[in-house]
Structure 1
Amino acid sequence: MSISFEGKVAIVTGAGNGLGRSHALALAERGAKVVVNDLGGARDGTGASSDAAMEVVGIIEAAGGEAFAHGANVSKFDEVEDMVAQAMAKWGRVDILINNAGILRDKSFSKMDLADFKLVMDVHLMGSVNCTKAVWDIMREQNYGRIVMTTSSSGMYGNFGQSNYGAAKMAVLGFMNTLVLEGGKNNIHVNALAPTAGTRMTEDLMPPEMLGLLTAESVTAAALVLCDETAPTRTILCAGAGGYAKSGMYETDGIFLPQAEQNPEAIVAQWDELSDVSNHQPLESGSKQTEKFLMKAMAALKA
């Protein structure tokens, strides 16, 4: 099966460099019309330039594709709204959104200024919220949408010096989980990409021989899966250096304690059973956890 995006319109944020650039070029190569969004700042979010985004547009157009650049700061909703309005005026629909834009302000938490924490949250989390909000009703009305959040192993598992980045990258997964429930009836699939690539964001963190394996293109292959008509929903797809895996959150089956035993000592006493992963499973929504615990309580009452 060949994946094609003919007739589709895609918005890729942070598409002037690195992963975003790779995503935009690959979507265009497979037929998508692409909005190349990039503020054009440094990796810490400072500065602005349209040069990188315009270069990507030039490459797409030289290959016979359609694209335009927009310098919206994703943390500013009015700028994002203007970008989406231009896409609608030009092409009349938005089918794909890849929330890729991001910055780094790494420091250990004890040394981190709260302004740097907030800025990273604003770009990664609120940037994803703003862009998704701007296209959400469009996708609902056309009964079709594919949205990709960009998460990170730093959020799912932690990484020293990245409390701000990790918090933001975990937050987009919570955002995704609820959008999956709200968008499903309108054929809006929402997934997350967890990339490892040699980009401006990682160039100081790894030796050159390793960076050479971590190509942006290897990650983009996974991103395109999440943009396709056949894409899953609520999937965290991890990609890097040619390796691909799924990540997810699971909950153990747990234990039940009768009311007289609902105390911390009893919980500690049964900690091994509580932690047993043999029957662990993903939950479809927050209410499923409540349902599980109530079923345990009702079963105990009937016993």
Structure 2
Amino acid sequence: MGALDGRVAVITGAGRGIGREHALLFAREGASVVVNDLGGSNSGEGTDAGPAQQVVDEIVAAGGRAVANTDNVATWAGAQALVQQAIDDFGQLDVVVNNAGILRDNFIASMEESQWDAVLAVHLKGHAAVLHHAAVYWKAQSKLGNRPNAAVINTASASGVTVPQPGQTNYGAAKAGIAALTLVAADELERYGVRVNAIAPIARTRLTEATPGMGAIFSAEVEEGEFDYFSPANISPVVAYLATEKCPLTGQVFAVQGGAISTLQGWTDVSTIETEGPWLIDDIADRLPN
């Protein structure tokens, strides 16, 4: 018996890296998987059906159930087609793992509009679009009396929630938005039997290896027999758990790296100043902590 027996999952960006590990683990645990990947470059350019199909072939060869999908989740229509394929091919949809992403790093003073728009489209809109169309399906099922036991796992990043990374204003803003999207969607969709959580993973992928100043860290050679702290396979077990029927968690964001899983919280008050009358600028200047 697998932890995900009978579950149907859509996983975006599943042709390589962390998404590929998600798809392989989900299939081993008994889920039927729609492997979505546009097959583009790190910057989101071009298409290639190969990566998604290769993961599907690997799953099927091992006795699992999977189909490939190359729709563009950065479009409303592409996200709708992806969700519909899961329903058409496997008869239902239980889990969405939003993982697709690209990089177009640049400092804000040099940022081009196309760099900003592309990253926000794939990450933030791509998450929202798939979540929207899945939510439409789950809401309809709930109103028909077929209350779902559904799960969404979004992919934020340390760049957006814990460690701002210079050169990634677009990426960091998108990932911070994904964390907020997760919390709001968790509140909205609980009534329909849907849990929504997010992870902020740190692992070796083609995107992290391409991040300035980070490539050497992630590419460091691991001695045979040693634990590979940056393997993308370390990320998938927590995602699989969050996707199980028995998991009660919702509205949570977890940092995941190597052998560590940390529960994150958002903006919190660290100090407060108050006045009993109108604020004076000089008073604020004197009292706000430096």
Partner residue of 1:249 out of 266, 283, 286 = 266
CA distance in 2, matches of 1:263, 1:227: 52
The amino acid of 1:166's aligned partner reads G
Residue range with higher mean Cα deviation, 236-245 or 205-214: 205-214
Task: Kindly provide the CA deviation profile for residues 136-161 of structure 1, in whole angstroms up to 9, marking residues without a partner as x.
Answer: 02223243221111101111131011
Residues 184 and 47 of structure 1, relative CA distance in 2, 3 Å threshold: same
What's 1:295 paired with? none
The answer (yes or no) to whether the contact 1:6–1:31 under 8 Å persists in 2 is yes
Cα RMSD of the aligned pairs, angstroms, is 2.0
Deviation, structure 1 residue 253: 7.5
What's 2:52 paired with? 53
Residue range with higher mean Cα deviation, 134-143 or 23-32: 134-143
1:187 aligns to 2:193 (yes or no): yes
SS of 2:68's equivalent in the other structure is: strand
Residues 49 and 15 of structure 1, relative CA distance in 2, 3 Å threshold: same
The answer (yes or no) to whether the contact 1:93–1:138 under 8 Å persists in 2 is no
In the alignment, structure 1 segments of 5+ residues that lack a partner are 276-303
The amino acid of 1:228's aligned partner reads T
TM-score of the superposition, structure 2-length normalised?
0.87
TM-score of the superposition, structure 1-length normalised?
0.84
The amino acid of 1:115's aligned partner reads S
What's 2:220 paired with? 209
Residue range with higher mean Cα deviation, 211-220 or 52-61: 211-220
SS of 1:79's equivalent in the other structure is: helix
What's 2:225 paired with? none
The amino acid of 1:62's aligned partner reads A
Residue range with higher mean Cα deviation, 262-271 or 7-16: 262-271
CA distance in 1, matches of 2:88, 2:269: 49
The answer (yes or no) to whether the contact 2:273–2:287 under 8 Å persists in 1 is no
What's 1:64 paired with? 63
The answer (yes or no) to whether the contact 1:198–1:215 under 8 Å persists in 2 is yes
CA distance in 1, matches of 2:287, 2:115: 42
The amino acid of 2:88's aligned partner reads A
CA distance in 1, matches of 2:280, 2:182: 35
1:151 aligns to 2:160 (yes or no): no
Deviation, structure 1 residue 227: 1.5
Structure with more contact order per residue of length (Cα contacts < 8 Å, sep ≥ 6): 2
SS of 2:233's equivalent in the other structure is: helix
CA distance in 2, matches of 1:194, 1:231: 19
What's 2:166 paired with? 160
SS of 1:260's equivalent in the other structure is: coil
CA distance in 2, matches of 1:178, 1:210: 40
- In the TM superposition, what are the counterparts of 1:89-168 in structure 2 within 5 Å? 89-140=88-139, 141=141, 142-156=147-161, 157-168=163-174
SS of 1:159's equivalent in the other structure is: coil
The amino acid of 1:209's aligned partner reads A
The amino acid of 1:184's aligned partner reads E
Task: Kindly provide the CA deviation profile for residues 185-204 of structure 1, in whole angstroms up to 9, marking residues without a partner as x.
Answer: 22211111101111110123
In the alignment, structure 2 segments of 5+ residues that lack a partner are 142-146, 223-227
The answer (yes or no) to whether the contact 2:8–2:93 under 8 Å persists in 1 is yes
Larger % of helix: which?
1
Percent identity at matched positions? 31
CA distance in 1, matches of 2:189, 2:221: 39
